[in-house]
Amino acid sequence: MKEELVMPLTVIQVGRRVRLVAVKAGQGLRSRLTAMGLVAGVEIEVLKNNGKGPFLVEVKGCRVMLGRGMAQKIIVK
């Protein structure tokens, strides 16, 4: 059985689709991300990731802007 590699959202290139595995953060940030639709199992498409500044993703047909620190705590595969 092949094990899938997990990594922070910040390393994913623009145009790639990934699946959210976990959020490595406190309850406050996890609740905030859940309210934006970022829950385990959801598919995320990276729309903007230029290595600095805000991070833009699409989740369930909605665009969501994240700070780079927040995106670093989102673990995907």
pLDDT digits (tens, 9 = 90+) for 18-59: 999 999 999 999 999 999 999 999 999 999 999 888 899 999
Domains of the chain by residue range: 7-76
pLDDT at 3 over 70: no
How far apart are alpha carbons 69 and 55 in whole angstroms?
9
Sign of CA dihedral 67, 69, 75, 77: positive
Q: What CATH number does domain 7-76 carry, 3.40.50.10860, 2.60.40.1180, 2.30.30.90, 1.10.3720.10?
A: 2.30.30.90
Query: How high is the pLDDT of residue 27?
Result: 96
> Quick one: 50 exposed, middle or buried, by C-beta within 10 A (0-12, 13-18, 19+)?
exposed
Give me the pLDDT at residue 2, please.
57
| Residue 5 confidence (pLDDT) above 80 | yes
